[in-house]
Structure 1
Amino acid sequence: MKYGRSLVDLATELERQLATKQDMIVPTPLMHHVTSESGSSVLNIETSDGVRTFRTTENCRRQLADRLKIPYAYFERMRAEQPTLLDRNIDTWLHSQPEQRMVRTLDGNARAFLSDRYRRLDNYDLLAHVYPMLRELPGARVESCEVTDSRMYLKVVTSRVQFELQPGDVVHAGVVISNSETGQGSLSVSPLIFRLLCSNGLIAADQAMRKTHIGRMTETSHDEVTFFKEDTLAADDAAFFLKVRDTVQAAVSQATFSLIAERMRKTMGIKLVGDPVKSVERLAVKYLLQEHEKAGVLRTLIKDGDLTGFGLVNAVTGYAQEVDLYDRSTELEAIGGRLLDQGAKEWSELAEAA
């Protein structure tokens, strides 16, 4: 499992972000997109205190393009080659079809362009509510955590719930909690399997609890920008956090954990009787691995020398530790979990590939 940063560093970064981020509901006629000749773009927003300027992130540009039905490849081509044309396109659609949008900013960047119904489930508030729950788990430890441009992750393992796959090969139960503040996914709570021998993590995303960021309409003005105050989550979210607590407890329960661990143990009996290279190629096609990722999984499989379904699962989750991007590393851990969910026919296609 990729390390990320310490819990103290995570909390420090979330506190820093809390002080600098700003959310607002903006009528689109008050927005103006400006792109320089070098291709850098900003969003100018007219407020009662004057014009405020925010640099746009890639995520914000993707969401802006999607909302205005501008193909992103064309959006980026205009940004690089015809910036004036891009600005005219964006402003025309923003102003001719007025609506209200939530703009989320951080460190002077417009990082998200979202619906005005987007429900803010912020990382700082989430950690403040969830961490005390996690501390109550017997033998719990934070194995890995991180906050990236797109998501926050908290991966917690408990040594009190364990399963021996084979003599000397023990796995511990855990849970991964992830959340996006920028519209790049729902809040998710998923069971986690942590293998002690190699520190591989596997996410059973099929048993995850998710909450989408859709809320009630916010009372705002159609003529001016409405700023949000950075307070904690509303009291009516208390029921939701109780559900998160129940889901965390279920994720690390002996029943849930044993079910997943038993599926993992069964993969030990699946022999890769075909060409291992072809098996990895087929896996890469099915799970959309890039060429360098396919090569990394194959290298790990050969290095470990375990030509079974279990070896293939661990080749994916083992390679996940080498990946530079924490987001992608976590996605690969979830692919390991999806492999466990495969039926006999799907496993046969991988095992007998030639």
Structure 2
Amino acid sequence: MTNMTTLGKVIDRVENMARNHNDALIDVGDIEFQDLETVKLAGEPHRMRPIAQQSISTRLGIPYQYLQKCPPEIQEINLNHWIEKERNEQLFFRFYGTEVRAIFTPRYIPTDNLEVIDRILSLGYGRDEVVQCSLDDHFMMVNIPDGRQSFTINGEKMTPGISLSNSEVGLASLSIAAFVLRLVCTNGSISKTEVSASYRHISTKIIKELPDVFTKVSQELTLKKDQFKLSLASRVDHIESTIDRFNKQFLLNKTEKEAVEWALPQEYGETMFHVVNTYTKAAQYKELPAESRYRLQRVGGMILEMVG
């Protein structure tokens, strides 16, 4: 699911995905690895998805890329050796059906996407609310525009709002930030701001604090108009080299760079306004996972902050 939709459709998709989700605390003594892709839990084999492979490799202190290159028998030896050194008596497993989608310590209390959506509804938003969403098995981003605060820059209508992002498998913590939606092509930039709230998934306070965080982030929305005006007045001599420099600065991966290259001709210009819009446009590149769409929108927001 990507781009403009309704909150109701997001809810339906999240609920449908959650039907196959379940969690369990597993005794470390019941964990035995056959290789990097398969783990036995109390004797029952389970396929590990790539995110789970990465999370257990990190937990055990084994470089993931090294394990990937090893033959299965070496993977088995390494994983089973280091799992015996695990300090916790149990590990927290997240499943999709019978497949392991992520592995964490018992201290990890995940924020489910359904919890986030339910809290949004409790704040007065309805199923008919128009939102921008990017959602897959690993990451969820929901941007809620506030049409009451729309403004026009360079003849284009801009609508600020609140952005929420969350990963049930640990790719990122629950984060709330200001964002601005460019309505002509539904590009969105997510702000890098001191009042944005990011939390590690270790406390149920996350959901309870949402109303206060919404208020704090909303206070920043009035700054966005001035920042866009400044970006339009900030000249760029060579947009290609500027883009290349930002790609390196923000450590974009290969697919994200391809997305930026795809977006550049569509947003080409001579100001920082065009640079910002190149990155937010890149978030619409079809090959991107949800996390990369969020990252590119956030890069656009961080570049905008530099101008301001």
Question: One fold, TM greater than 0.5?
Answer: yes
Contact between 2:189 and 2:280, CA under 8 Å: does it hold in 1? Answer: yes
Task: Report what 2:150 is aligned to.
Answer: 162
Q: Which amino acid aligns with 2:210?
A: V
Please list, as runs of the form range in 1=range in 2, the aligned pairs for 1:180-199 lying within 5 A after superposition: 180-199=167-186
Task: Report what 1:352 is aligned to.
Answer: none
Alpha-carbon spacing, 1:343–1:53, altered in 2? closer, same or farther (3 Å): same
Deviation readout 1:166-194 (Å, 9 max, x if unpaired): 4x322112111111111221111111101
User: What is the SS of the residue equivalent to 1:342?
Assistant: helix
User: What is the SS of the residue equivalent to 2:129?
Assistant: strand
2: CA distance, partners of 1:65 / 1:248: 36
Alpha-carbon spacing, 1:113–1:305, altered in 2? closer, same or farther (3 Å): closer
Contact between 1:189 and 1:208, CA under 8 Å: does it hold in 2? Answer: yes
Q: Point out where structure 1 has 5 or more consecutive residues left out of the alignment.
A: 216-236, 345-354
Deviation at 1:297, TM superposition (A): 3.3
Q: Which amino acid aligns with 2:302?
A: R
Q: Which amino acid aligns with 1:276?
A: I
Task: Report what 2:196 is aligned to.
Answer: 208
Task: Report what 2:31 is aligned to.
Answer: 31
Aligned match for 2:293, one of 321, 329, 336: 329
Alpha-carbon spacing, 1:27–1:311, altered in 2? closer, same or farther (3 Å): same
Please list, as runs of the form range in 1=range in 2, the aligned pairs for 1:180-329 lying within 5 A after superposition: 180-206=167-193, 207-215=195-203, 237=204, 240-253=206-219, 256-273=220-237, 275-290=238-253, 293-294=256-257, 296-297=259-260, 300-325=263-288, 326-329=290-293
Task: Report what 1:145 is aligned to.
Answer: 133
Deviation readout 1:203-223 (Å, 9 max, x if unpaired): 0132421121124xxxxxxxx
Contact between 2:256 and 2:296, CA under 8 Å: does it hold in 1? Answer: no
Contact between 1:142 and 1:154, CA under 8 Å: does it hold in 2? Answer: no
1: CA distance, partners of 2:84 / 2:256: 44
Task: Report what 1:21 is aligned to.
Answer: 21
Alpha-carbon spacing, 1:307–1:134, altered in 2? closer, same or farther (3 Å): farther
Q: Which amino acid aligns with 2:25?
A: I
Query: Which entry has the higher C-alpha Rg, 1 or 2?
Result: 1
Structure 1, 332-341 or 119-128: larger mean CA deviation: 119-128
Deviation at 1:321, TM superposition (A): 1.4
1: CA distance, partners of 2:68 / 2:246: 32
Please list, as runs of the form range in 1=range in 2, the aligned pairs for 1:15-164 lying within 5 A after superposition: 15-35=15-35, 41-46=37-42, 51-78=43-70, 82-97=71-86, 99=88, 100-135=90-125, 141-164=129-152
Alpha-carbon spacing, 1:292–1:98, altered in 2? closer, same or farther (3 Å): closer
Deviation readout 1:268-296 (Å, 9 max, x if unpaired): 111112x3322222222212234664465
Q: Which amino acid aligns with 1:260?
A: K
Task: Report what 1:231 is aligned to.
Answer: none
1: CA distance, partners of 2:132 / 2:44: 37
User: What is the SS of the residue equivalent to 1:175?
Assistant: strand
2: CA distance, partners of 1:57 / 1:272: 43
User: What is the SS of the residue equivalent to 1:272?
Assistant: coil
Alpha-carbon spacing, 1:8–1:24, altered in 2? closer, same or farther (3 Å): same
2: CA distance, partners of 1:200 / 1:208: 20
* Percent identity (aligned): 22
User: What is the SS of the residue equivalent to 2:57?
Assistant: helix
Q: Which amino acid aligns with 1:204?
A: S
Q: Which amino acid aligns with 1:43?
A: V
Q: Which amino acid aligns with 1:121?
A: T
User: What is the SS of the residue equivalent to 1:145?
Assistant: strand
Contact between 1:163 and 1:258, CA under 8 Å: does it hold in 2? Answer: no
Contact between 2:4 and 2:131, CA under 8 Å: does it hold in 1? Answer: no
Contact between 1:179 and 1:187, CA under 8 Å: does it hold in 2? Answer: yes
Deviation readout 1:232-276 (Å, 9 max, x if unpaired): xxxxx4x643421222244345xx212122112101111112x33
